[in-house]
Structure formats: structure tokens, C-alpha cells
Structure 1
């Protein structure tokens, strides 16, 4: 039994006439009669009484009509549901965000835009370090992530640059250097213990901090290790050392922490959107497209 058999049956049942039903379906009347007869043979009983003036439903035909009447609408709804899913308008997006990225104003902006544009997509957000986020994408636990890319990244991931940030100095607000100026030379920090995220958890950020120190001509004194930005700032506040953090961290009001611009060396850390190179969900691709649009908007604003 094919869908066209149902369409033909419903047309005859509605028009109660083979000729009018054929005209409505834009087919010839003899083929329509043949298709209805084939349907009756498959079911095993007549569905219509053929009369001189048209066609009337048998009891079997009426029972069949009651069951199949919703089918065309259900098929249409199923088609629309499939098309929406193919466009990424329904379904889910499992998004990962690295801790420092979540605090950059551009990240809530792209998430807001995604929610407004795709309100029927179920969005879940997971926070983790960049290496863990990349691993979750590779093992199908996440669909996409905003992370700090490391080099080299897995070939199985597509990494699209989003934005860069300058590193700034975070030091205890009671530190003598915090009372001097709004800018500090890295040379002044040579003897200070640096609180850093272990390289095993944050390759790009760890390497960027070490690179700044190397540019200033010294090897950083490694202090306490801290897995997240919150614990880094907490340790700085406890006067256990200093750190270099992305500039967007300035917006955090952490008691006991002062932020200072680096005066003699510049280093940037990158944020990117990552998703599978193969078989990325449409929702992930839609999110990446919004990130690209946000990137273009920020570039236009900065160039104005």
C-alpha cells in the first residue's frame, strides 16, 4: 500500500465520484479506478459501491476512511519536522565553554543570539578546560565548544578563530607593585611565583604565560597550580603569587586582586569555536555561523 493509494481513496471518498476525483487529482479516470481496485484487492474487500451517479462507501470503506483520514496531515507534519531538523531548527546543541571564555562578553552574546534564532533547540552548556572540551567533541559528548586552541589540534576537529585577548597581570592588591602604576614591566615579576593552570589542562594559556616571561628574559618561578580561573584569582588574592590572565578577567571584582597592563611585552591568547570536521550536527554548524557573524560585527565595530 502506497501513500498515493490513500490520496486516491480520500479523493473518491470526498467527491463520491470517480470522474470528479480524477479531475481533482489531475489524472485520468481509468487509472484512478484501477488504483482503487488494486487497493481493494490488497485489503481484501470492496471499499466503494459503484453506482450510476458515483461511488458510495461500503461499511469497510467507512472504517478505512476513519483510520486513514489523518494520514496526509501526519505525513505533512513529519515532512516539516524532518526539514526543521535538517535546518537545525529543532533538536539539541551540547555546547562546551572553557572557564575563562565564559567571562568574555562576546560569548554570552553569541549564546543569546543562538537561543533567539533557534528557540526550539534544546541547549545545554558544559564548562571544562579546553583539552577536556576537545576530547568531549571527539567522543560525541559535545557538539561544539568555545575553547582556547592548542597546536596542533586534532585533525578530526574544525577550529575556527573567534577572537584574541591581551594577557594582563593579576597580583595581590596589597603588593607594593600594585600601588605604583596602572602598567607594570614583566621584569618586575622575575622573582614572583606564578600561579598557572597546568599545561596538561590548558596548553595554550600555559604556553602563552611562559612565552611572555621568556620574551622578558626570564624563566617564570612556578608557584601553586590552579585548574580554573577562579582558583587562580583566589590564590592571587591569598597572596600566594601573581598570574597572567586574559584581559576580560578585569571585569571580575575579586577582593584582594589588582589587574595591571603589561608595559613592555605583549601576548595574545585566542578563543575559537570547535566542532567535528565530519558529521557535525546542523545545530553545531548554525552555532558556528553565528560565531562568524559576531566576529564580523566586532571587526566592523573595531574598524569604525
Structure 2
């Protein structure tokens, strides 16, 4: 039994006549009659009672017609659903992001814009460090990622700059340098620094460390933590000082102060979108396109 047999059968059942059914199906009447006879032989019972002016369904024919309509409707729905998946109208996009990337106002705004464009695409978000993000992307456990500086840039992944922002020094309330609007780099020589662990964010502090070395001192890193939020919490508790992207300056404002660092260069934190070159998911492709378009139309300003 083939799907065409079901369509032929239902056309005859709905038209009540082989001639009209054949015209509707754009085939000749004799082949249509032959197809129905073959279907009846396969089923082992009559589908129609022949009458002078047409045909009517038998009792088993009526039962079979109801199920046949259900089968074809389900098939049509499956085709529509699959087509929408192929077009990226429905599906799931798995997004991995670092905590500092999640704090940047561009991230939730751009993702909300994508949700408005594709309301039937689900977004699964997972907050991990940069090293884990690269592993997830390479293993196919994430479709897209937003991070600062990657641990590595494997050839299978695409890294696209979304924006850059200034890095700010984080000081506990009451620190001797709090009154400064901008702190000269060389005044930080004796400070105790709290950084995010470099295996998780290896590139975030590289420029700063090199700048310190150029001024004749090595920054004293007393603790490395898994998240920038943790670093700010430790600064608030008097554990040292840190540097974070400017977009995090609203966090813990009652306990810490944020200020710029002056020196031979400004320290910046980039924000990257990471996707695979061989994107298989149409929804993931739309996610990338939507974010890049949004960033182009709404550039971030510090």
C-alpha cells in the first residue's frame, strides 16, 4: 500500500463518483478504478458499494476513510513541521557564555531581539568559563557562544568580534586610591591582585600584565577565582584589587569602587561570538545572523 492509494481512495469517497474523482486527481478514470480495486484486494474487503449514479462507502470503508484522513493529516503536519525546522523557524539553539559576557548589556538585549524575531526557537543557556566553552563548541554540545578572549582559536570555530569595552580597576571602599578618577599604572606595584583563573580566561589580563612588566614590576596575584563576580566579591571583602570589564561596574556598588587605569595603553576587553564553520542547525545560523545584524545596527558605546 502506498500513500497515493490513500489519496485516490479519499478522493473517490469525497466525490462519490469515479469520474469526478479522476478529474480532481488529474488522471484517467480506468487507472483510478484499477487502483481502488487493487487496494480492496490488498485489504480483503470492499471499500465502496457501486450504485447507478456513483459509489458510497461500505461500513469498513467508512472506518478506513477516517483513519486514512488521520494518517494523511499527520503526514502533512510532519512535512510542515520539518519544513519550518529546515527554515530555522523552530528548533533549539544551545548558547554557552562566560559570566562577564552575560553581564554585558549587549548580550541580553541581542538575545531578546532574536527571541522576538524567532519566538518558536528555544534558547538553552549555559554559563561556563572560556576553556569549557571551546570544548563544548568542538564537541557539538553548544551551537553558539559569547565570550571575551578565547583560550584557543581552533580552525573549526569562527570567532567574530561583537564589541570592545574598557577594563576598570576594582577597589574596596576606603582604599587609598579610591579618590583618584584614574590610577597611574605604576601606583599598583604593591597591590594584591585577584584575577580569574587563567586557564578559564587566559587572554583577559595579558595586556595588563605586560604593561606592568614594562613599568618594572610583576603584579602580585594573590588569588585566582573561577568567575569575575567572585573576584569582585573578594575585593568587596578586602581581599585585594582586580580588573573587570566596564559593563560590570553596576555590581556591588555599595562595597567597591571602579576607576580607570592610566598608562602607556588603555586596557580593553573584547566580546566575541563563537560559532562553528559547519553550522548544521538553521536556527543556529539565524542566531548568528541576528546577533551580528543587531550589533551592526546598535553599536555599543561605553
Query: What TM-score, normalized by structure 2, do the two folds share?
Result: 0.91
Q: Separation in 2 of the partners of 1:62 and 1:284?
A: 46
Shift of 1:145: 1.5
Q: Separation in 2 of the partners of 1:22 and 1:213?
A: 86
Kindly provide the CA deviation profile for residues 178-214 of structure 1, in whole angstroms up to 9, marking residues without a partner as x. Answer: 11x3112111112212211121111121324323434
Q: Separation in 2 of the partners of 1:142 and 1:95?
A: 6
Q: Separation in 2 of the partners of 1:27 and 1:164?
A: 65
Q: Separation in 2 of the partners of 1:110 and 1:227?
A: 26
1:37/1:170 CA distance change after superposition, 3 Å: same
Are 1:204 and 2:198 counterparts? no
The residue number in structure 2 matching 1:169 is 169
The residue number in structure 2 matching 1:122 is 122
Q: How does 1:239-258 map onto structure 2 within 5 Å?
A: 239-258=238-257
SS of alignment partner, residue 61 of structure 2: helix
Shift of 1:49: 2.6
SS of alignment partner, residue 123 of structure 1: strand
SS of alignment partner, residue 176 of structure 1: coil
SS of alignment partner, residue 67 of structure 1: helix
Native 8 Å contact 1:149 1:159 kept in 2: no
**CA RMSD, Structure 1 to Structure 2 (Å):** 2.0
Q: Separation in 1 of the partners of 2:197 and 2:252?
A: 24
The residue number in structure 1 matching 2:20 is 20
Are 1:67 and 2:41 counterparts? no
1:281/1:8 CA distance change after superposition, 3 Å: same
The residue number in structure 2 matching 1:272 is 272
List structure 1 runs of 4+ shifted beyond 3 angstroms: 214-218
Shift of 1:82: 0.7
The residue number in structure 2 matching 1:282 is 282
The residue number in structure 2 matching 1:229 is 228
Q: How does 1:96-175 map onto structure 2 within 5 Å?
A: 96-150=96-150, 152-175=152-175
Q: Separation in 1 of the partners of 2:298 and 2:186?
A: 33
Kindly provide the CA deviation profile for residues 215-253 of structure 1, in whole angstroms up to 9, marking residues without a partner as x. Answer: 545322222212211111122222322222111111223
Shift of 1:100: 0.6
Are 1:52 and 2:21 counterparts? no
1:86/1:216 CA distance change after superposition, 3 Å: farther
1:211/1:249 CA distance change after superposition, 3 Å: farther
SS of alignment partner, residue 223 of structure 1: strand
Are 1:83 and 2:80 counterparts? no
The residue number in structure 2 matching 1:260 is 259
SS of alignment partner, residue 261 of structure 1: strand
Shift of 1:279: 4.4
1:271/1:12 CA distance change after superposition, 3 Å: same
The residue number in structure 1 matching 2:184 is 185
Q: Separation in 1 of the partners of 2:214 and 2:51?
A: 97
1:38/1:221 CA distance change after superposition, 3 Å: same
Q: Separation in 2 of the partners of 1:243 and 1:170?
A: 5
Native 8 Å contact 2:145 2:275 kept in 1: yes
Q: Separation in 2 of the partners of 1:76 and 1:245?
A: 53
Q: Separation in 1 of the partners of 2:28 and 2:239?
A: 89
